[in-house]
Amino acid sequence: MKIQPAIMSGGAGTRLWPLSRKARPKQFLNLAGETSLFQETASRLSDGGGVFAAPLVIAGRGHGKLVAEQLAGAGIAPADIILEPCPRNTAAVAAVAALWTARAAPDALVLLAPADHHIDDAAGFREAVLLGAKAAASGRIVTFGVKPVRAHTGYGYIQAAEEISEKVFRIAGFKEKPDEKTAQGYLDAGGYYWNAGIFLFSPQAMINALEAHAPDILKGAGGALSEAAPQGGGLLLDEGLFSKTPSDSIDYAVMEKTDKAAVVAPVDVGWNDIGSWTETASDPESAGHMLEACRNVTVRSDGPVIGAVGVEDLVIVATGDAVLVARKDKAQDVKKLVEELKRRGREDLL
């Protein structure tokens, strides 16, 4: 059975400002090592011993050339690059991926995965995908439950119900980002997993579920795909139709409503959603930075040298035109600075 990777690469990555910018959001940055998260993801989904088809990439309208360049840099030829004229959240992307695959490879399963996740153990991840494939082939919409290693308050959780097949469970419930006490309760209770935001399904199963639970999204995304035209290095969805498509997450629009949901769990592959600066690695001192009497300080720079004196629990990020200093437990609020820049019309810094 073929698996059709569909890489969701339309995110803005505002919480990783000021390195992450409109023109080059975080998934295209070399945050750790010599490749970007997008390239890592594409490579992970290209190396399955014949299991994975060439990837479909769904990205923002301004990023067609960047996607093509980064794929070329990773030695990967895409099946297609679809460009969104505006962001419409993940349900619309799932619809586009399902409809595109139904036409291009109707017998394949779609593996819908965000471009900006880091996974240590790519082989382990592929094993988890293959575990879920049988359930997906039988009409289930399969998600992946990451083994929680701490009471993380930045992720959603999935509560598993009874086992259907080896390591594949029905779902008792989806839980939104919890507070710390609730998160600790999930860990203590067991049977709760981090929602990795990765989905495996047959095109028809997703189309049926959208038809049942979010028909406007299916119709809007379907129309936008039918009217799509080559532009900007990819196939640009029709702006008039896509902009009118409701914006919702696949979790809300489909997963919480369908009785076809299932979860592969526990997935223990060193998964990490690089959602904020606290999840990134620090530039080393060999990059020229200087930490004098500091503790638990993460520094990142695309050029300027950073010097810190007597501070703790901070992230410090520098570019030639902007500097961020944030307490680590407030790193999620960096997006507020980006909103403020938008209000001020500082397009040059977005």
- Which C-beta is closer to its own copies: that of 11 or that of 18? 18
Q: Are 38 and 55 in contact (CB under 8 A)?
A: no
- Which C-beta is closer to its own copies: that of 163 or that of 302? 302
245: nearest Cα among 265, 208, 219, 271: 219
CB neighbours (10 Å) of residue 49?
A: 6
As measured in angstroms, the least distance from the Cβ of 155 to its own copies is 20
**Residue 1 identity:** M
The DSSP secondary-structure symbol of 121 reads -
As measured in angstroms, the least distance from the Cβ of 181 to its own copies is 21
- Which C-beta is closer to its own copies: that of 86 or that of 350? 350
As measured in angstroms, the least distance from the Cβ of 299 to its own copies is 9
As measured in angstroms, the least distance from the Cβ of 78 to its own copies is 35
- Which C-beta is closer to its own copies: that of 54 or that of 322? 322
Q: Are 262 and 171 in contact (CB under 8 A)?
A: yes
Q: Are 268 and 252 in contact (CB under 8 A)?
A: no
- CA gap 32, 69 in Å, rounded: 19
As measured in angstroms, the least distance from the Cβ of 242 to its own copies is 32
- Which C-beta is closer to its own copies: that of 47 or that of 321? 321
- CA gap 305, 299 in Å, rounded: 10
As measured in angstroms, the least distance from the Cβ of 303 to its own copies is 7
Q: Are 206 and 254 in contact (CB under 8 A)?
A: yes
- Which C-beta is closer to its own copies: that of 123 or that of 323? 323
Q: Where are the beta strands (DSSP E) in 61-129?
A: 80-84, 109-114, 117-119
- CA gap 277, 317 in Å, rounded: 9
**Residue 113 identity:** A
- Which C-beta is closer to its own copies: that of 93 or that of 318? 318
Distances (CA, A) of 80 to 55, 70, 299, 301: 7, 14, 37, 33
As measured in angstroms, the least distance from the Cβ of 233 to its own copies is 31
- CA gap 222, 99 in Å, rounded: 7
As measured in angstroms, the least distance from the Cβ of 176 to its own copies is 23
- Which C-beta is closer to its own copies: that of 103 or that of 336? 336
Cα angle for residues 348, 349, 350 (degrees, 5° grid): 100
The helix (run of H) or strand (run of E) holding residue 94 is helix 89-104
Q: Which residues are at the interface with its own copies (CB under 8 A)?
A: 17-18, 288, 290, 292-293, 301, 303-311, 314, 316, 318-327, 329-331, 333-334, 336-337, 340-341, 344, 346, 349
